[in-house]
Every structure is written in C-alpha cells, then in structure tokens.
C-alpha cells in the first residue's frame, strides 16, 4: 500500500519532527534501560557471588562428614527474610545426593545450576512459588581436615529477582511517560514554531491572491519573515517584474495592433460614407472600390503578419526542416510584387549562386522572410529605382545569405536598427498605409528561430539600404 504524505507543509514538518523524536526517544530509552538493567543485574550477580562464597566457606569436612556452619545469625535471618530471601541447597556425592537446603525452600529443590562445573554458573530460574529468580551454582571441595579429602560438593543459591524486575519495570514506565510528555511538549512547541514561521507564507499567499493580473508593478514584502524566504521573495518579485514587462509589451502590442486595424477601418468607412453621401459617377464608384480593395489588401497583410507573430510567440510556428529550392522561393516572392514593381518601372538585378544547392530548412519561414523583404524593397524604392537581389550558400560555414537592397530616400543609419521594432514606420509619409511596421520585426524573429541574423545597413554613402539575412542550414547533399 502506498502511503501518501500529507500535503500540508505544517503537517509534514510535524510528522517529520514527531517521527524523529519518537525514534530518538526509543533508541535513547532502550539504551538507558539496558544500561540500568545491566548495572542492576551485575550488582545482583555480585551480591549473589558474595553469597555463594559465604556458603562455600560455611562448609568443611572431617571424618567423612560435611559440616555447614553459618557463623552469623544474620545470615540465617537473611535466608529467612521474606523481602529478600536467599535460597540455598547443598548436594554431596558430586551433587547427586541432597545434603542440606535452606529452610525457606521447604521441601522444594533448586535446579542443579552449575552442577559438574568448577566455575560458578548463573541461570535465571523460576522458584517453586512461581517468582523469577537468579541462581548461581558451582562444584567445590569443602575445607578438608582429613587427608586425603573425600567429599566433593555442589552448592546452588538463588535470590528472588522480583524487586529488580519491578524496579526495571518502573524505570520503563517512567521513561514511557517522560517520552510521551516530551513528545506532547515538542509537538505543541513545534506546532507553534511552525505556525509562526509559516505565517509569512500565508501572508504572502494573501498578497499574491490580492494582486491583480491586469498590470501595475506589484512587489511583495514580508516583514519579519525567516531569512530562508528571502530568495523566494526576491525571485517572486523578479518574476512579477518580468510578468509586468510581458503584460506591458502585450498591452502595447495589442494597442498597436488595434491602431493598425482602426486606420484601415476608418479609411473604409470614410470612403463608403463618401460614396453613399451623394450621387457619384460610375468612375467615382470604381475609384472607391479600387480604394477599398487596396485597404482590404493592406488589412489582410496586417492580419496575416499578426497571426504569424502570435504563432511565433506561442511556439506553434516551428522551423520544420524540408528541402527548399531557394532560387524558386525568391522567384515566387518576386512574382507577387511584380505588378507593383512594373507600375513603378523598377529595375531588378539578380545575383543568385549557380548552381544554388537545395537547402534543408523551413520553406514556410524562408518564404515569409523573402516576401517581406521584397515587398519592402518594392514599396520603398523610388520610381524607376533599382532593386538588387542576391543569394549565396557558403559550404565552409554551412550558411545561406540573402541580400536585398534598394535606393534609400528617408532612412538614417540609426533607423537601420529601429526599423526592426514592431510597428515602427519610420519617415515614410503616406506610403506607410501599406505597411504596419510588422514585416521586418517579424522577419527578425523568424531568423532568430532559424539561429540566423537579419540586419540592415546603408551603403554607398547612404544612397542604398541593404538587408542581409544569414542563416545556418545544411544542403541536400550533406
């Protein structure tokens, strides 16, 4: 059966502490008990041994007869002491024949402990009255007045162990009570300490619960909290800063996105209202419809870019590798902007490595980059301008480079970095309505996914702006 630990930290701490205390008390108590027991039994055995010596010395033999003479009255009294009686039994003929037994044994025998042994032997026994006792027996030769000695004797003495065992029992009980008292005391004190020290966590959870997720810099403070909570608090506040930053970026992004959609919506509404406001010629209506179509195209591009950005942020848009014929991707990209380029009488110069190896990279992501770079170049080129498109693959570093350049009319060198910010629209005047400032920022995010780099620079004294997109990839032959 699997034991599930309690979920409460308080309960876990209490359980751990109580378990530790109980184990410590059990081991400590058992050790103390055993030490006491050993000491008591040693003392008891020493006393028994002294008694045995006394009983041996009380014997002598002469004329083939063994005499037992207790020289003190106290010994006899001690034998008969009902509280701590000493039982003794002598056997002669190598212990086979009973010679003497202390009167307190009545007619009962003591077990022949140490019979046949010259060294004293101890044994726990049960007396005839059912009480536990400790017995010591040995074979000995009584002091001899004859020559040669003739009689060997066996003596066994026993003492009631009840008092010692009672004492040990009381000691055990006392230790149990002390352990129980200590456990309760420690439980209460530990519980109070744990509760007191967990209180900051409760306060922290209340603060977290009361913190709105809608924004506003929130920092948590816990006065009097244990030092162990400081790193938690620090990390939590750092996390809150990051969350706040992310929320602010999201708010800004949403506001910018809404702004970029409101402009075309306002444009559509005003054109429709204008057309409906009074009777117009068929040419006017056609012009209005053309205008609306342009606005719709712009909106479609904004929405498409926003969706790609959202997928990139959520990690849905991944760089799935496939065979990408880069030349074809570039040609297809150009085909999409061909009409506008022709209207503006733009000249395009191609410089594609021949043969260009098929790349192993994401066709979808590369297509988005190419489309945005070409779209930008065509839209921001002056009439009859020149656009250069080049693509090369460097086998030494397994890296592909796409360059797109066009004549620059408005950009400064500072703009070359700023233009990758989302919704940055530069100084492009009324051409800006075709661009929401999403494309280049989107391209840079995509290139980062491909572990590459996208940058812009002004060349030829600022007359030309060049976009350089480099990304590592293998080729079909690799």
Partner 1 sequence: MRILIIEDYGPLRLSIAQRLKEEGYNVDDTADGSEGLWMATENTYSLVLLDLNLPSTHGLDVLRKLREKKPELSVLIATAKDAIQDRVAGLDAGADDYLVKPFSLDELSARVRALVRRTHGQHDPIIRVGDLEIDTRSRNAKRGSDAIDLTAKEYALLELLAHRVGEVVARGDIWEQLYDFNQDVESNVVDVFIAYLRKKTEAGGKPRLIHTRRGQGYVLSDSN
Span of 160-168, 353-361, 420-428, 469-477 interacting with partner 1 by CB under 8 A:
420-428
Cβ partners under 8 Å of residue 86, min gap 6: 51, 78, 79, 102, 157, 158, 159
Contacting residue, 106, 228, 273, 279, with partner 1 by CB under 8 A: 273
- For the bound state, the minimum distance from the C-beta of residue 326 to partner 1, rounded and expressed in Å, comes to 34
Q: For tokens 């400064």, what's the residue?
A: 412
What is the rounded distance in angstroms from the CA atom of residue 379 to the CA atom of residue 175? 93
* DSSP letter string, 404-471: EEEE-SS--TTHHHHTTSTT--TT-GGGGGG--S-HHHHHHHHHHHTT-EEEEEEETTTTEEEEEEEE
Contacting residue, 274, 289, 307, 310, with partner 1 by CB under 8 A: 274
Q: Give the angle 436-437-439 at the CA atoms, nearest 5°.
A: 100
Contacting residue, 263, 398, 401, 407, with partner 1 by CB under 8 A: 263
Does 268 sit near partner 1 (CB under 8 A)? yes
* DSSP letter string, 61-94: EETTEEEE----HHHHHHHH-SSS-EEEEEEETT
Span of 46-54, 56-64, 119-127, 419-427 interacting with partner 1 by CB under 8 A:
419-427
# residues contacting partner 1 (CB under 8 A)? 28
Does 294 sit near partner 1 (CB under 8 A)? yes
Closer CB to partner 1, residue 26 or residue 265?
Answer: 265
Does 425 sit near partner 1 (CB under 8 A)? yes
Closer CB to partner 1, residue 45 or residue 294?
Answer: 294
Contacting residue, 74, 270, 318, 343, with partner 1 by CB under 8 A: 270
Does 209 sit near partner 1 (CB under 8 A)? no
Give yes or no for a contact between 101 and 90, defined as CB atoms under 8 angstroms apart: yes
Does 153 sit near partner 1 (CB under 8 A)? no
Q: Which two tokens stand for residue 268?
A: 């559509």
Does 262 sit near partner 1 (CB under 8 A)? yes
Long-range CB pairs of 212-218 (<8 Å, 24+ gap) are 213/243, 213/247, 214/247, 215/244, 215/247, 215/248, 215/251, 216/244, 217/241, 217/244, 218/244
* Touching partner 1, residues 295-324 (CB under 8 A): 295
What is the rounded distance in angstroms from the CA atom of residue 86 to the CA atom of residue 84? 7
Closer CB to partner 1, residue 112 or residue 291?
Answer: 291
Does 411 sit near partner 1 (CB under 8 A)? no
Closer CB to partner 1, residue 268 or residue 468?
Answer: 268
What is the rounded distance in angstroms from the CA atom of residue 412 to the CA atom of residue 462? 8
- For the bound state, the minimum distance from the C-beta of residue 279 to partner 1, rounded and expressed in Å, comes to 12
Which is nearest to 50 in space by CA: 80, 75, 76, 77?
75
Length, in residues, of the chain = 478
Give yes or no for a contact between 59 and 68, defined as CB atoms under 8 angstroms apart: yes
Does 217 sit near partner 1 (CB under 8 A)? no
Does 409 sit near partner 1 (CB under 8 A)? no
Beta bridge partners of 469: 402, 454
Q: For tokens 């990279």, what's the residue?
A: 361
Closer CB to partner 1, residue 284 or residue 322?
Answer: 284
Span of 15-23, 82-90, 258-266, 369-377 interacting with partner 1 by CB under 8 A:
258-266
Does 418 sit near partner 1 (CB under 8 A)? no
What is the rounded distance in angstroms from the CA atom of residue 240 to the CA atom of residue 234? 10
Contacting residue, 70, 428, 455, 457, with partner 1 by CB under 8 A: 428
Contacting residue, 22, 232, 233, 432, with partner 1 by CB under 8 A: 432
Does 357 sit near partner 1 (CB under 8 A)? no
Does 281 sit near partner 1 (CB under 8 A)? no
Beta bridge partners of 404: 389, 467
Residues that bind partner 1 (CB under 8 A): 255, 258-259, 262-271, 273-274, 277-278, 291, 294-295, 425-430, 432-433
């Amino acid at each position: 059966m699997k034991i599930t630990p309690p979920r409460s930290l308080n309960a876990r701490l209490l359980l751990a502490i109580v378990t530790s205390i109980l184990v410590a008390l059990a081991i400590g108590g058992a050790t103390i008990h055993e030490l006491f027991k050993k000491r008591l039994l040693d003392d008891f055995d020493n006393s028994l041994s002294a008694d045995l010596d006394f009983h041996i010395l009380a014997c002598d033999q002469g004329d083939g007869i063994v005499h037992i003479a207790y020289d003190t009255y106290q010994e006899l009294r001690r034998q008969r002491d009902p509280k701590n009686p000493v039982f003794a039994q002598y056997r002669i003929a190598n212990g086979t024949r009973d010679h003497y037994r202390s009167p307190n044994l009545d007619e009962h025998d003591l077990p022949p402990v140490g019979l046949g042994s010259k060294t004293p032997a101890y044994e726990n026994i049960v007396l005839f009255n059912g009480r536990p006792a400790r017995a010591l027996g040995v074979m000995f030769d009584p002091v001899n007045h004859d020559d040669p000695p003739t009689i060997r004797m066996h003596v066994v003495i026993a003492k009631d162990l009840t008092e010692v065992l009672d004492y040990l029992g009381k000691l055990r009980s006392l230790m149990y009570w002390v352990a129980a008292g200590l456990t309760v005391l420690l439980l209460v004190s530990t519980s109070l300490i744990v509760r007191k020290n967990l209180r900051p966590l409760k306060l922290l959870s209340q603060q977290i619960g009361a913190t709105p997720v809608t924004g506003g810099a929130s920092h948590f403070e816990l006065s009097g909290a244990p030092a162990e909570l400081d790193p938690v608090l620090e990390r939590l506040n750092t996390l809150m800063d990051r969350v706040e930053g992310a929320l602010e970026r999201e708010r800004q992004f949403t506001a910018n996105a809404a702004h970029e959609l409101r402009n075309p919506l306002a444009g559509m509404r005003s054109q429709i209202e204008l057309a409906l406001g009074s009777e117009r010629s068929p040419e006017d209506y056609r012009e209005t419809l053309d205008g609306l179509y342009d606005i719709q195209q712009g909106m479609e591009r904004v929405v498409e870019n926003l969706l790609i950005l959202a997928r990139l942020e959520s990690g849905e848009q991944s760089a799935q590798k496939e065979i990408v014929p880069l030349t074809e991707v570039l040609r297809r990209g150009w085909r999409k902007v061909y009409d506008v380029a022709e209207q503006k009488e733009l000249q395009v110069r191609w410089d594609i490595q021949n043969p260009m190896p098929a790349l192993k990279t994401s066709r979808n992501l590369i297509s988005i980059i190419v489309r945005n770079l070409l779209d930008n170049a065509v839209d921001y080129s002056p009439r009859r301008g020149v656009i250069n498109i080049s693509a090369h693959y460097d086998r030494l570093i397994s890296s592909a480079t796409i360059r797109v350049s066009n004549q620059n009319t408005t950009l400064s060198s500072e703009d070359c970095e700023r233009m990758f910010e989302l919704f940055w629209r530069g100084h492009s005047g009324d051409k800006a309505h075709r661009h929401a400032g999403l494309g280049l920022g989107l391209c840079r995010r995509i290139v980062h996914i491909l572990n590459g780099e996208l940058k812009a620079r002004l060349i030829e004294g600022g007359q030309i702006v060049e976009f350089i997109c480099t990304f590592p990839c293998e080729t079909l032959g690799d």
